[in-house]
Structure 1
């Protein structure tokens, strides 16, 4: 997941551009990893609120187009202090899936095969 840290926004067409402006022009999600890549952190650039989670597991290896295996294209997290509850009464867990080094999406673990994933996020330039 060496490609994940950075600034992210909803992909064009996945957001209300009329309200929020073009991608990478407003509030951005800042993501960083600590503890040797085993702890996820994120916050929006317009707030001091931070969410964090231990990385619970890596996604299974993916077979790349060139035939090589990619062992680190996503992971499972469960936010500390998560308030959303799944149908079994457990706090929801999320897969972060990187489709390319500059794109990822979230998928709730309890909704795989039942509902669509969240909209794609795209990498943005560092605003600083």
Structure 2
């Protein structure tokens, strides 16, 4: 069941805040080992996805349902915010966040195209002339 734009914006905002605060509270744990640092980057990519979702839903509420997120400023703003949050934890965490976010953006775009780009109903015209 799909949520409305306002409910989705609230949920994505809450998850973004929870992920950011978790990363800041456990920053020493994320920086303790290489695997934890990579896990922090993965968690940062979820911060990117949720912040992009919240921002896009806010614009959808304010500007209408047909509004779509573009690379600049929505995607770039969310990506810079997530990488900055990860860079406060560890430098490698920021790098892995960038890589995982690009991969996540690819799959979100692929899912969005599958769901929202319905093939248009086209009429097939016959080349024969009617007499």
TM tier, smaller = under 0.3
Greater helix percent: which structure?
Answer: 2
**Bigger-Rg structure (1/2):** 2
Greater strand percent: which structure?
Answer: 1
Superposition TM-score, scaled by structure 2 size:
0.26
Asked which structure has the greater RCO (Cα within 8 Å, sep 6+), the reply is 2
Superposition TM-score, scaled by structure 1 size:
0.27
